[in-house]
Structure 1
């Protein structure tokens, strides 16, 4: 990329670009609603994330274009001697930059942010259908050390 990637906290003006990236994906297209205007649920979720000091919605920008997104949640635990964990969710890059290292830079940025916040571990999940994503995270040093379970409500 000819210009440097810059990372920042997302603003409400970024929300349309964020939802577009989340929906522009085989699995995301089944669960997201990218339409105009955006459904109010996205705005309410954005407001909840923005007002929570332990949540950060981060965008990667190339010039003025939003080209990536991730959410980082910082959680205190009683286990591990009261340590903090960072959980990375909702990682997406724009189709225009896939394969150009933006995802790698997003994750490296999140790891650095977790270190700044004093976290002892960074965790994430990826859908089992996302074999490429699993390999991507493993290349960045993540290990599948636990089995994750979910219950849809």
Structure 2
């Protein structure tokens, strides 16, 4: 049986969310801007870097995400510039009678663009896609140090419902 791609045509082409914000699938040509967004994140602790020797790692990961049937990487573009990004993953489990859920990861808005509603539009876009895919729930995790982000997610309707645990292997 051939898997049915989960990527909607509207996701490939992008969607004009407001008059000046386009949310679309990320392209390889967006990679430098995406790396810069992650490298500028002082709270994340992911060791992202603009160092030339790291580019191949990012490029390899981008191609794996782009080829996945269960992952999608998006950018928010304004005036031809990447101003935000987020990634979604679709997860089907036996719990919930085999339900599908969406996990939102790596939400970033460029520092000079925060407070302009870009993050809310990106999350709204993800939720719309989750509904289109008939997901039972949308979930995300946020670093405990991101108190402002927690308030942001709660304003969008997310509720704190679980404790998360992480084990670093590298």
TM-score bracket for the superposition, by shorter chain length: over 0.9
Corresponding residue SS for 1:150:
coil
Write the deviation string for residues 40-97 of structure 1: whole angstroms up to 9, x where unpaired.
Answer: 1111110110000110000001121111000000111110010001000000011221
Corresponding residue SS for 2:83:
strand
Q: How far did residue 35 of structure 1 move?
A: 2.4
CA distance in 1 between counterparts of 2:19 and 2:39 reads 26
The answer as to whether partners of 1:3 and 1:62 remain within 8 angstroms in 2 is: no
Q: Does 2:149 align with 1:133? A: yes
Structure 2 runs not aligned, ≥5 long: 1-17
Name which of 111, 115, 137 aligns with 2:131.
Answer: 115
Q: How far did residue 27 of structure 1 move?
A: 2.0
Name which of 63, 74, 84 aligns with 2:90.
Answer: 74
CA distance in 2 between counterparts of 1:143 and 1:3 reads 30
CA distance in 1 between counterparts of 2:108 and 2:145 reads 15
Structure 1 pair 53–108 and aligned structure 2 pair: CA distance change class (3 A)? same
The answer as to whether partners of 2:142 and 2:150 remain within 8 angstroms in 1 is: yes
Q: How far did residue 38 of structure 1 move?
A: 4.5
With the length of structure 1 as denominator, give the TM-score of the two structures: 0.94
Query: Moved runs in structure 1, 4+ residues, more than 4 A?
Result: none
RMSD, aligned α-carbons: 1.5
The answer as to whether partners of 1:89 and 1:125 remain within 8 angstroms in 2 is: yes
Structure 1 runs not aligned, ≥5 long: none
Q: How far did residue 134 of structure 1 move?
A: 0.7
Name which of 21, 25, 36 aligns with 1:20.
Answer: 36
The answer as to whether partners of 1:3 and 1:63 remain within 8 angstroms in 2 is: no
The aligned residue for residue 49 of structure 1 is: 65
The aligned residue for residue 62 of structure 1 is: 78
Corresponding residue SS for 1:15:
helix
